[in-house]
Amino acid sequence: MTDMSVGESWMKLEFTEAEVNERVAPFAAVLAQEEFHKEVDRLCVSERRWGTRREMRARALKWHGDRCTFEIAVRTESGWHHVIGKVYKTDRSDVFQAMEALRRAGFSEDAEFSIPQPLVYLSSLGVRLEEKVRGPSAKDLFLNGGPHEHIAAAERCGRWLARFHAASPRLGNVADLGAEFVRYRYWTDRVTDFGEPLASKSERLFEELNTAAPTLAAIEGCGGHGSYIPEHVILSGSRTAAIDLDEYDVGDPSRDVAWFVVSLQRLALRYLGSLHALDSAAQQFLSMYVASGREDAIVNFPFYRALECLHGAKRDIVGQTPPAPDRAEIMLDEGLRALC
């Protein structure tokens, strides 16, 4: 464990040594500042009524380059209490405000479909504290559960997204698909650099995506999650909560649907040995989403599915050590099939 001191009083903040690497360390240092500790104390005593802090520990969960997510455990006289802390390089008070708006729109702690409840945003530190939603993620159930658990999890994920697209306020920037093609070109180039047969398939997929791209006026946009994947859905008793709203915006509902389906396929490919091992769950997710949402919500689903397959292929080449060209080729083939 690693200890950090704060101010003149000794307030021990413990990190697992292996987690405080060169990427995480700058974010962890923010949590060692006295201002952060004072805010935690206020939260414990005044807001959550947990009592006086006696000990605090932090565990790094995920690093994204411009932000890092921690689980923060605080021990008071009433026991251990857990919250999630996100530390940003730049000001992201907008995410806190968006979460507050979603809470007011019905995605509250006691709602069937919800989000983690925002607790506080410290603008001077770039830190947001939010509720830690307890329970397994949908990813956990898809990988470790049986067929019945797969179907039940898929249904709940589909219903949450349908509710979100129907009820969430339109917050953030409007996604501009045309402007994003520069980024899609970058994905293609990275795959092409790996050589054949990936080069020709990625170029063909990019060309077909360019031809099939829907216009901004093709469908009415709605509030978008921006990163709706099984890992970001927590099943807490009868409550379904989606976490990680940093990429929220306004966009085509088909995009979130495709993110989820392709992510499910990639889980199946990586951990279960076949791209189609979770196809029944994917179909149940789609069926429940369509039954609960707008009739036109998935009109552009084939396009966004193919696009996310290209994205997945890029990640298999650039984001893997060593690269996984076999998986990348499977994703490119799936993307081409999606546009047939």
pLDDT at 8 over 50: no
pLDDT value for 20: 60
Domain count within the chain: 2
* pLDDT tens digits for range 205-243: 999 999 999 976 678 899 999 999 999 999 999 999 999
State the Cα torsion 144-148-152-157 to the nearest 10°: 50
What DSSP string runs through 30-67? HHTSHHHHHHHHHIIIIIS------EEEEEEEEE-SSE
Choosing from 131, 150, 184, the residue where a domain stops is: 131
- H-run or E-run covering 217: none
Residues 162 and 27 in one domain: no
| pLDDT level of residue 118 (50, 70, 90 thresholds) | very high
Residues 68 and 102 in one domain: yes
Amino acid in position 249? D
pLDDT value for 294: 80
pLDDT value for 6: 39
The tokens for 247 are: 């990429």
Domain limits for position 208: 138-338
Choosing from 131, 158, 188, the residue where a domain stops is: 131
Mean pLDDT of the chain: 92
Residue with tokens 């009820």, as numbered in its chain: 167
* pLDDT tens digits for range 127-169: 999 999 999 999 999 999 999 999 999 999 999 999 999 999 9
Q: 137 - beta bridge partners?
A: 234
| pLDDT level of residue 12 (50, 70, 90 thresholds) | low
Alpha carbons 316 and 322: distance in angstroms, whole number: 9
